[in-house]
Amino acid sequence: MPDDILPCDADLIARLSSMLPPAALLTGAAIDPRYQEDRRARFSAPPRLVIRPSSTAELSAALAACNDARQRLVIQGGRTGLSGAHRIQPAEAVLSLERMTGLDAPDPESRTIVAGSGVPLQRVQDAADGANLMFGVDIGSRGTATVGGIIATNAGGNRVIRYGMTRAQVAGLEVVLADGSVLSCMRGLEKDNSGYDLKQLFVGSEGTLGVVTRALLTLHAKPQFETNALLAMPSVEAAMALLQGLRSRLGETLSAFEFMTEDIYHGAASEAGVSDPLTTAGPIYVLAEIQSQQGQEAATDPFMESLSDAIENGLVLDAVIANSMREFLSLWEIRDSCADYVRRQEGVANGDISVPVGRIPDFLDESRRRLLKIDPASRFLTFGHLADGNLHYVFCTTRKEEAVACLMNLVSDFSGSISAEHGIGLDKKHWLPLARSAAEIETMKRLKIALDPNNILNSGRIFDP
Amino acid sequence: MPDDILPCDADLIARLSSMLPPAALLTGAAIDPRYQEDRRARFSAPPRLVIRPSSTAELSAALAACNDARQRLVIQGGRTGLSGAHRIQPAEAVLSLERMTGLDAPDPESRTIVAGSGVPLQRVQDAADGANLMFGVDIGSRGTATVGGIIATNAGGNRVIRYGMTRAQVAGLEVVLADGSVLSCMRGLEKDNSGYDLKQLFVGSEGTLGVVTRALLTLHAKPQFETNALLAMPSVEAAMALLQGLRSRLGETLSAFEFMTEDIYHGAASEAGVSDPLTTAGPIYVLAEIQSQQGQEAATDPFMESLSDAIENGLVLDAVIANSMREFLSLWEIRDSCADYVRRQEGVANGDISVPVGRIPDFLDESRRRLLKIDPASRFLTFGHLADGNLHYVFCTTRKEEAVACLMNLVSDFSGSISAEHGIGLDKKHWLPLARSAAEIETMKRLKIALDPNNILNSGRIFDP
């Protein structure tokens, strides 16, 4: 009987049953197949059992029991991760945060909100919106991705240029360590240098060092006005020049600068059911957004002037500026549909990579040249967050393995990152040495052993112990 | 012969001598007394030896040797720390970063600069300024405090309201661990989720986890215009109301909002040799600064209007707005002289504390009431960074020990921090349990053991092992 279908240790089940309410523990036939869901459609093993605590106390008790029994756990939020960290490995039990869904009202004075780790991102966004505030993290999977998941992966998304990654918006965390001890770092003071800032350890460590149970999230003033524009452009160089121009003219008002190559643009527009709003085609498309605390005119005038100048200078071939909330959302709908369109293509290879912003044009040239050499029929569907140097380097090829290896090595040559915002999980750990030195990986392992000596939390994610 | 004057292990000296150039190793009479300097004027032991590497390779080799010999090291930058982390303990050797002074030219494209950890803060500021950029960290000791020191203590200072603490401005770090291994996290990509963000560990850990050798620092666009205003105000509540008003009207243009009570204001002004520019006195003084990317009028008009309104509403009793660079600097000179004035008083007690911003008026009332009960002759010299909730709670008393204990316990009752920006060092570690739970302190110790198992780096700072 292979290890992956061995029943869970009966003593552990008995201990968990005695400490948890029935809804918090699923075994056998009661386990829904949804825990095996995976956006990359890779094999996810059946879990030995599913623990679904609804409080920090339950979670702490369950973790202590699993730690004593050396039961490995895979931690699951919304299962929207793209590197397989939530994918169940043989002999693992699931620790699902789906019932940690407490959400306080936003505090308008400190501009913060306390959210359970199982709360979907969109609920946080909506709660902030209802208090005339906003949460600065936004990703396409907002309806399903959870607070715990965006923290564990230090999610980036569409507005990093303005608000930073998730890390910049975590003012406090409550975390349970593998042995069940609870770290409450929830005071959220603007300034606090009383010992190590422990919460930083858990942001972006993909559930390997501890389990986030609650977070104190920083909110921002809701923009008084926002609009966006979709632009057809003659080249990546033109997009880079426009980005520089908008940044120096608009400063922090520029809140997104998203990039699509022509095939993905047309594919995503048809996926979204939006007819192309532009009359002139270009090899490159950009979706630029501004968010302002000033009135419509004060915000729009410099944006419009910048775009007019760019059209005059030949940087922009064609532009459409949203004139209504409906148009604003419809332009975002195109961008948000890129991932759905990609998911339906054949032979897709994927790299969530970043390179220093100034080197993007060279990187795109050189990578295309090399990938076409491997497979002259390669089809490029690259899109991403140009202002952050972050490309979702998607392409279709029949020689995937060789092509991705070529891409990742080139990223390394360009001093870039092999995972800009999706994390390493299971799927990218064999590439980690391209991004991090032996000394860095050794240090990660030392931290893992210090906080999870029995290696029960998301074992084998990021690196092998 | 007590341990503190035991000569250093001869084998270690021989090994260090063989690997380091003569300038990098001082022993015996060659050791200058400056290494024993301490701003708090407390006893600093004579060091066993002084290691002064001028490169990461030298520093790495020296650390490996000290680790093998179990030689404890105190790490020194500019020795301007206010919690004693750099103060030499018996049997320690000094690892001074004073020769790690490489400073690259700022990179205008990425808006970053690479600085050695021994570079004084002001050299970074000046280099940024010369490239039409600015570094967002500013503290009174800018001429002496070093890059390594501001990173190890996560320095705050005058413009946290606008640019954040030092952590927010560290894009990359090179760090040497106790065993000599070198971690280079210097790529500085905007987005990089390839494994743990190790550099976060070393910011604010006061030299206990590793030695920072170089940093990639984030710079900002140099403000096109800046000015400041000194205000006499009737109450702390008025200062809080003005702060709220300026924040909502000026947004991020507001770059400092410094607070002084009357005694410290008059003392600092006379210390600075500046005659009081205000004609009406108040119990409270505020120095507000704006920095803008817009022209003088666009920046000044809303600031002037806000202040006029505040005068009309009785929030401000008297105001002077700087009309020249000379006046601008002279107003800052008053604020910067607070620390010098305090240093010359008798019976000074000191708390670098923070509380949630909205609770500052209550905290000031309650603390004054309690401290006057302990010593009715207490004299208050409180000043600080009001917008961050950070008070340098200085007072003069003949019953210092009891009074400080009272203050620290009250801070804890207000969910505040016992060290907002100065760190814990040696001087505040007995207060740490007021700010951090047993589980948090235990976790800090686990990290210390993981990265410095022989406990040679700044041992006994923050917590006892």
Which domain, by its residues, includes A241? 225-339
Question: Are A90 and A162 part of one and the same domain?
Answer: no
Of B382, B397, B419, the position where a domain reaches its end is: B419
Mean pLDDT of B405-432: 96
Please, which pLDDT band fits residue B7 given cuts at 50, 70 and 90? low
Given B99, B131, B160, which residue is the final one in a domain?
B99
Q: pLDDT at position B8, please? A: 60
**Which residues in chain A are closer than 8 Å to B420, comparing Cβ atoms?**
189, 191-193
Residue A212 forms part of a structural domain: yes
Residues B118 and B165 in one domain: yes
Q: At what angle are helices B360-374 and B400-413 packed, to 10 degrees?
A: 150
Instruction: Please check whether residues A335 and A349 belong to one and the same domain.
Output: no
B148: nearest Cα among B76, B48, B246, B249: B76
Q: Does B42 touch chain A (CB under 8 A)?
A: no
Q: How confident is the model at residue B9 (pLDDT cuts 50, 70, 90)?
A: confident
- Please tell me if residue A197 touches chain B, with a CB cutoff of 8 Å: yes
| CB-based contact A432 B185, cutoff 8 Å | no
* In a shared domain, residues B145 and B84: no
Domain count across chain B: 4
Q: Across residues B74-84, what is the average pLDDT?
A: 95
A-proximal residues of B, 65-124, CB under 8 Å? 109-110
Flag whether pLDDT at B221 surpasses 70.
yes
Q: What are the 10-residue block averages of pLDDT along chain A, 465 residues in total?
A: 54 96 96 92 93 98 97 97 95 98 95 97 98 94 97 94 96 98 94 97 98 97 93 97 91 92 96 94 96 82 94 96 95 94 93 94 97 98 94 97 97 96 96 96 98 98 95
Range 347-366 of B in CB contact (< 8 A) with A: 354-358
With residue A179 as reference, give the H or E element that holds it: none
Check which CATH number belongs to the domain holding A319 and give it: 3.30.70.2190
Which amino acid type is present at position A130? G
Question: What single-letter DSSP state applies at residue B26?
Answer: E
**Is residue A361 situated within a structural domain?**
yes
- Calpha distance B85→B88 (Å, rounded): 8
Q: Could you tell me if the ipTM is greater than 0.90?
A: yes
State the pLDDT at residue B2.
44
Strand runs (DSSP E) across B322-371, as ranges? Answer: 348-354
Answer yes or no: do A312 and A240 share one domain: yes
Task: Encode pLDDT of A106-124 as tens digits.
Answer: 999 889 999 999 999 999 9
Q: Is A429 part of a structural domain of the chain?
A: no
> Is position B398 within any domain?
yes
d(CA B80, CA B423): 12
Same domain for A406 and A349: yes
> What local confidence, expressed as pLDDT, does residue B40 receive?
82
Last residue of a domain, one of B66, B99, B132: B99
* A121 plus A216 within the same structural domain: yes
Lookup: tokens for A438: 């032996």
pLDDT the model gives residue B297: 81
Nearest CA-CA distance, residue A249 and chain B, Å: 10
Q: Do B230 and B212 share a structural domain? A: no
Same domain membership, residue B268 and residue B190: no
Burial pattern B111-137, b for ≥16 Cβ within 10 A else e, equals bbbbbbbbbbbebbbebbeeeebbbbb
Asked if B229 and B335 sit in the same domain, the reply is: yes
Do residue B238 and residue B217 come from a single domain? no
Residue B311 contacts A, CB cutoff 8 Å? no
- Inside any domain, residue B451: no
Of A249 and B399, the one with more pLDDT: B399
Residue B459 lies in a domain: no
- B191 to A354: CB separation less than 8 angstroms, yes or no: yes
Give the per-residue pLDDT at A2: 44
Q: Same structural domain for residues B184 and B135?
A: yes
CATH number at residue A200: 3.30.465.10
pLDDT at residue A7 in the model: 52
The DSSP line for B379-432 is: EE--EEEGGGTEEEEEEE-S-HHHHHHHHHHHHHHTT-BS-SSS--TTTSGGGH
- What's the average model confidence in pLDDT over B420-442? 96
- Calpha distance A412→A310 (Å, rounded): 33
Average pLDDT taken over every residue of chain B: 94
Is residue A440, in this structure, part of any structural domain at all?
Answer: no
Instruction: Single out the residue of A260, A206, A147 nearest to residue A444, CA to CA.
Output: A206
CATH number of the domain enclosing A88:
3.30.43.10
**CB-CB neighbors (< 8 A) of A449 in chain B:** 450
Q: Is the pLDDT of residue B41 over 90?
A: no
In this complex, the residue of B194, B197, B440 whose CB is nearest that of residue A183 is B440
The band of B293, judged by pLDDT with boundaries at 50, 70 and 90, is: confident
Task: Establish if B324 belongs to a structural domain.
Answer: yes
The confidence score (pLDDT) of residue B5 equals 44
